[in-house]
Amino acid sequence: MVAEIIAERCTGCALCVYVCPTVALTLRDRRADEAGTHRRIVELAEPDCYNAQNCLEICPDEAIVMHPLTEPFTVGTDVASADADEIRALCMAAGVGSKQLICMCAETTGAELAAAILNGAHSPEALSLATGARTGCTELCHQPILQLLAAAGHGDAPRNPARGFQWYGIAATALGLLADGEVADDVREAFSHYPLDSDLRVLSGDFSEFAPKGGQP
Protein backbone atom coordinates (compact mmCIF):
# COMPACT_ATOMS: atom_id res chain seq x y z
CA MET A 1 0.00 0.00 0.00
CA VAL A 2 1.07 3.55 -0.62
CA ALA A 3 -0.34 6.84 0.65
CA GLU A 4 -2.07 9.41 -1.52
CA ILE A 5 -2.78 13.01 -0.53
CA ILE A 6 -6.23 14.44 -1.33
CA ALA A 7 -5.17 17.97 -2.24
CA GLU A 8 -8.43 19.79 -1.54
CA ARG A 9 -8.66 18.36 1.99
CA CYS A 10 -5.07 19.00 3.08
CA THR A 11 -4.72 22.06 5.31
CA GLY A 12 -0.94 21.86 5.54
CA CYS A 13 -1.06 21.30 9.31
CA ALA A 14 2.08 19.08 9.07
CA LEU A 15 0.96 16.51 11.65
CA CYS A 16 1.53 13.68 9.16
CA VAL A 17 5.03 14.97 8.46
CA TYR A 18 5.80 14.72 12.17
CA VAL A 19 4.82 11.04 12.51
CA CYS A 20 5.97 9.35 9.30
CA PRO A 21 8.74 6.92 10.34
CA THR A 22 10.43 7.05 6.93
CA VAL A 23 10.03 10.83 6.50
CA ALA A 24 8.23 10.29 3.21
CA LEU A 25 6.17 13.45 3.65
CA THR A 26 7.25 17.09 3.39
CA LEU A 27 5.41 20.39 3.34
CA ARG A 28 5.60 22.77 0.38
CA ASP A 29 3.62 25.69 -1.08
CA ARG A 30 0.42 24.77 -2.88
CA ARG A 31 0.61 25.32 -6.61
CA ALA A 32 -2.01 27.50 -8.29
CA ASP A 33 -3.32 24.55 -10.29
CA GLU A 34 -3.91 22.39 -7.20
CA ALA A 35 -7.31 22.04 -5.51
CA GLY A 36 -7.68 23.38 -1.96
CA THR A 37 -7.38 26.73 -0.29
CA HIS A 38 -4.60 26.57 2.29
CA ARG A 39 -1.24 28.03 1.35
CA ARG A 40 0.73 24.90 2.27
CA ILE A 41 0.20 21.30 1.23
CA VAL A 42 1.97 18.07 1.99
CA GLU A 43 3.88 16.12 -0.66
CA LEU A 44 4.72 12.42 -0.68
CA ALA A 45 7.99 10.87 -1.87
CA GLU A 46 6.32 7.65 -3.01
CA PRO A 47 9.34 5.31 -2.94
CA ASP A 48 9.87 6.19 0.74
CA CYS A 49 6.32 5.29 1.77
CA TYR A 50 6.38 1.89 3.52
CA ASN A 51 2.68 1.74 4.47
CA ALA A 52 3.05 2.59 8.17
CA GLN A 53 -0.24 4.52 8.02
CA ASN A 54 0.64 6.77 10.96
CA CYS A 55 -0.13 9.70 8.64
CA LEU A 56 -3.58 8.35 7.86
CA GLU A 57 -4.35 7.95 11.55
CA ILE A 58 -3.21 11.37 12.69
CA CYS A 59 -4.55 13.47 9.80
CA PRO A 60 -7.45 15.46 11.28
CA ASP A 61 -8.97 16.15 7.87
CA GLU A 62 -9.03 12.74 6.24
CA ALA A 63 -6.73 14.06 3.56
CA ILE A 64 -4.79 10.79 3.20
CA VAL A 65 -5.97 7.52 1.66
CA MET A 66 -4.06 4.33 0.96
CA HIS A 67 -3.88 2.51 -2.38
CA PRO A 68 -2.44 -0.86 -3.33
CA LEU A 69 1.03 -0.52 -4.85
CA THR A 70 1.13 -1.26 -8.55
CA GLU A 71 4.55 -2.86 -8.11
CA PRO A 72 5.12 -4.22 -4.59
CA PHE A 73 8.75 -4.19 -3.47
CA THR A 74 10.78 -5.98 -0.82
CA VAL A 75 12.92 -4.13 1.69
CA GLY A 76 15.80 -5.44 3.76
CA THR A 77 19.52 -5.45 4.47
CA ASP A 78 21.53 -8.61 3.93
CA VAL A 79 23.22 -9.53 7.20
CA ALA A 80 26.17 -10.85 5.19
CA SER A 81 26.80 -7.34 3.87
CA ALA A 82 28.58 -6.38 7.14
CA ASP A 83 31.28 -7.99 9.25
CA ALA A 84 29.82 -10.67 11.53
CA ASP A 85 32.06 -9.79 14.49
CA GLU A 86 31.18 -6.12 14.24
CA ILE A 87 27.49 -6.99 14.10
CA ARG A 88 27.79 -9.15 17.22
CA ALA A 89 29.75 -6.49 19.06
CA LEU A 90 27.24 -3.80 18.20
CA CYS A 91 24.28 -5.91 19.31
CA MET A 92 26.07 -6.76 22.54
CA ALA A 93 26.90 -3.10 23.22
CA ALA A 94 23.27 -2.14 22.61
CA GLY A 95 21.94 -4.91 24.86
CA VAL A 96 19.93 -6.63 22.13
CA GLY A 97 20.21 -10.16 20.80
CA SER A 98 21.57 -10.50 17.28
CA LYS A 99 19.04 -13.22 16.46
CA GLN A 100 16.29 -11.44 18.35
CA LEU A 101 13.34 -10.29 16.27
CA ILE A 102 13.48 -6.59 17.05
CA CYS A 103 10.76 -5.53 14.62
CA MET A 104 8.14 -8.26 14.73
CA CYS A 105 6.17 -6.74 11.87
CA ALA A 106 8.96 -6.51 9.28
CA GLU A 107 10.69 -9.52 10.90
CA THR A 108 13.92 -7.60 11.35
CA THR A 109 16.55 -9.08 13.64
CA GLY A 110 19.11 -7.25 15.74
CA ALA A 111 21.78 -8.44 13.30
CA GLU A 112 20.01 -6.95 10.28
CA LEU A 113 19.62 -3.60 12.02
CA ALA A 114 23.27 -3.68 13.08
CA ALA A 115 24.33 -4.49 9.51
CA ALA A 116 22.31 -1.56 8.17
CA ILE A 117 23.91 0.77 10.72
CA LEU A 118 27.38 -0.49 9.82
CA ASN A 119 26.49 0.12 6.16
CA GLY A 120 25.71 3.77 6.85
CA ALA A 121 22.12 4.05 8.12
CA HIS A 122 22.78 6.48 10.95
CA SER A 123 19.34 7.71 11.95
CA PRO A 124 16.06 5.98 12.86
CA GLU A 125 14.52 6.97 9.53
CA ALA A 126 17.53 5.79 7.51
CA LEU A 127 17.38 2.51 9.42
CA SER A 128 13.68 2.14 8.67
CA LEU A 129 14.29 2.80 4.99
CA ALA A 130 17.11 0.25 4.89
CA THR A 131 15.32 -2.53 6.76
CA GLY A 132 11.57 -1.81 6.90
CA ALA A 133 11.71 -1.97 10.70
CA ARG A 134 9.56 0.55 12.64
CA THR A 135 7.00 0.84 9.83
CA GLY A 136 4.46 -1.63 11.19
CA CYS A 137 3.22 -1.23 14.75
CA THR A 138 6.19 1.16 15.21
CA GLU A 139 6.15 0.26 18.89
CA LEU A 140 8.05 -2.84 19.96
CA CYS A 141 11.23 -2.05 18.02
CA HIS A 142 11.36 1.61 18.94
CA GLN A 143 13.79 1.67 21.83
CA PRO A 144 16.08 -1.18 20.67
CA ILE A 145 16.61 0.80 17.47
CA LEU A 146 17.52 3.93 19.41
CA GLN A 147 19.88 1.88 21.57
CA LEU A 148 21.59 0.29 18.56
CA LEU A 149 22.12 3.71 17.01
CA ALA A 150 23.48 5.11 20.28
CA ALA A 151 25.80 2.13 20.74
CA ALA A 152 27.16 2.76 17.25
CA GLY A 153 27.85 6.40 18.13
CA HIS A 154 24.82 7.84 16.34
CA GLY A 155 22.64 8.63 19.32
CA ASP A 156 22.85 12.28 18.40
CA ALA A 157 21.05 12.04 15.04
CA PRO A 158 19.04 15.24 14.67
CA ARG A 159 15.29 14.90 14.69
CA ASN A 160 13.99 14.97 11.13
CA PRO A 161 12.04 17.20 10.72
CA ALA A 162 13.22 19.25 13.68
CA ARG A 163 9.69 19.55 15.13
CA GLY A 164 8.80 15.96 14.34
CA PHE A 165 7.89 13.48 17.03
CA GLN A 166 8.68 10.20 15.33
CA TRP A 167 11.01 9.53 18.22
CA TYR A 168 12.34 11.20 21.36
CA GLY A 169 15.23 10.02 23.50
CA ILE A 170 16.20 6.72 25.03
CA ALA A 171 14.00 5.82 27.95
CA ALA A 172 15.25 4.14 31.13
CA THR A 173 15.78 0.38 30.91
CA ALA A 174 16.11 -2.42 33.42
CA LEU A 175 19.87 -2.61 33.02
CA GLY A 176 20.02 1.03 34.07
CA LEU A 177 18.91 -0.12 37.52
CA LEU A 178 22.29 -1.72 38.05
CA ALA A 179 25.15 0.02 39.83
CA ASP A 180 28.48 -1.82 39.48
CA GLY A 181 26.65 -4.93 38.29
CA GLU A 182 24.32 -5.00 41.32
CA VAL A 183 20.80 -3.69 41.77
CA ALA A 184 21.17 -0.17 43.14
CA ASP A 185 20.17 0.10 46.82
CA ASP A 186 17.60 2.83 46.33
CA VAL A 187 15.93 0.82 43.56
CA ARG A 188 15.87 -2.32 45.67
CA GLU A 189 14.25 -0.38 48.50
CA ALA A 190 11.68 1.36 46.29
CA PHE A 191 10.57 -1.84 44.58
CA SER A 192 10.97 -4.23 47.45
CA HIS A 193 9.16 -7.39 46.54
CA TYR A 194 10.29 -7.67 42.95
CA PRO A 195 12.78 -10.42 42.13
CA LEU A 196 15.07 -7.78 40.68
CA ASP A 197 18.36 -9.62 41.06
CA SER A 198 17.00 -12.62 39.24
CA ASP A 199 15.33 -10.58 36.49
CA LEU A 200 18.43 -8.54 35.85
CA ARG A 201 20.54 -11.66 35.63
CA VAL A 202 18.20 -12.93 32.91
CA LEU A 203 18.26 -9.58 31.14
CA SER A 204 22.04 -9.58 31.26
CA GLY A 205 22.04 -12.87 29.36
CA ASP A 206 22.36 -15.33 32.25
CA PHE A 207 19.57 -17.81 31.57
CA SER A 208 20.62 -20.40 34.14
CA GLU A 209 17.34 -19.85 35.99
CA PHE A 210 15.35 -19.98 32.79
CA ALA A 211 13.72 -23.35 33.30
CA PRO A 212 10.00 -22.92 32.71
CA LYS A 213 8.12 -25.74 34.33
CA GLY A 214 5.75 -28.11 32.62
CA GLY A 215 5.55 -26.43 29.25
CA GLN A 216 6.90 -26.38 25.78
CA PRO A 217 9.02 -23.33 25.13
Partner 1 sequence: MNHGPALLPPAFMPSEYGPEPRPHVAMLPSMTSVSVTELFPSFDAPITQGDAADLDIVRATTRAALADVDMSKITADSSVNILASEHGFGLMGGLPYAEMVKTIREVVVERTGCRDVRLRLAIYRGFQEADEVRDHFGFDEAFDGKVKGLGPFDRGVEVDTAIGPMYLVQRAFDADFFIHAYYDDPREMYFNRLLYKSFKSFCMSYARFETRSVYHSLFGNRSGSIIPRALFDSAYVQARYTFSSVLRTSPAGVIGVDATDDLYAIDRRITAGHLATYGRMQRLFAEIGDCVAVWDGGRWGYYLHAGGIIFGVLLTNHHDSFDLDVPVVAGFLQEPGNSVNFTRNKSLRGIVVNQAWVGAGIPYVTMPFSSPMYIVGDDQAQLWREDPTNPLLIDRATVVDDVAQGIEMACTRGGTDRVIVFDGSYGHITCNESMADVLRERAPAVDREVEQVLLPKWLAQRGLA
Binding to partner 1 (CB under 8 A) within 25-64 occurs at 51-54, 56-60
Q: Which of 101, 150, 157, 178 binds partner 1 (CB under 8 A)?
A: 101
Task: Report the nearest approach of partner 1 to the CB of residue 94 (Å).
Answer: 10
Closest C-alpha to 204, from 73, 96, 84: 96
By beta-carbon proximity to ligand SF4, the closer residue of 35 and 190 is: 35
Residues 6+ apart with CB under 8 A from 41: 5, 7, 10, 12, 27, 28, 29, 30, 34
Site for partner 1 in 143-172 (CB under 8 A): 143-144, 146-147, 165-172
Nearer to ligand SF4, 24 or 126 (CB): 24
| Per-residue exposure over 99-123, b if at least 16 CB sit within 10 Å of its own CB, e if not | eebbbebbebbbbbbbbbbbeebbb
Q: At what angle do helices 110-118 and 142-151 cross, to 10 degrees?
A: 40
Alpha-carbon gap, residue 139 to 187, rounded angstroms: 27
Cite the DSSP H helix spans in 100-164. Answer: 110-118, 124-131, 142-151
Beta bridge partners of 124: none
Query: Is position 193 an interface residue for partner 1 (rule: CB under 8 A)?
Result: yes
Closest approach of ligand SF4 to the CB of residue 12, in Å: 5
Which residues are near ligand SF4 by CB under 6 A? Answer: 3, 5, 10-16, 20, 22, 24-25, 42, 44, 49-55, 59, 61, 63-64
Q: Which is nearer to ligand SF4, 159 or 188 (CB)?
A: 159
Question: In this complex, which beta carbon is closest to ligand SF4, that of residue 10 or of residue 177?
Answer: 10
25 binds, among ligand SF4, partner 1, none (CB under 5 to 8 A by kind): ligand SF4
Please count the residues of this chain forming the interface with partner 1, following the rule CB under 8 A: 75
Stretch that binds partner 1, among 33-41, 82-90, 113-121, 128-136 (CB under 8 A): 128-136
Half-sphere exposure of 1 (CA within 13 A, CB side): 14
Q: Which is nearer to partner 1, 155 or 176 (CB)?
A: 176
Nearer CB in complex with ligand SF4: 44/82: 44
Distances (CA, A) of 1 to 24, 87, 158: 14, 32, 28
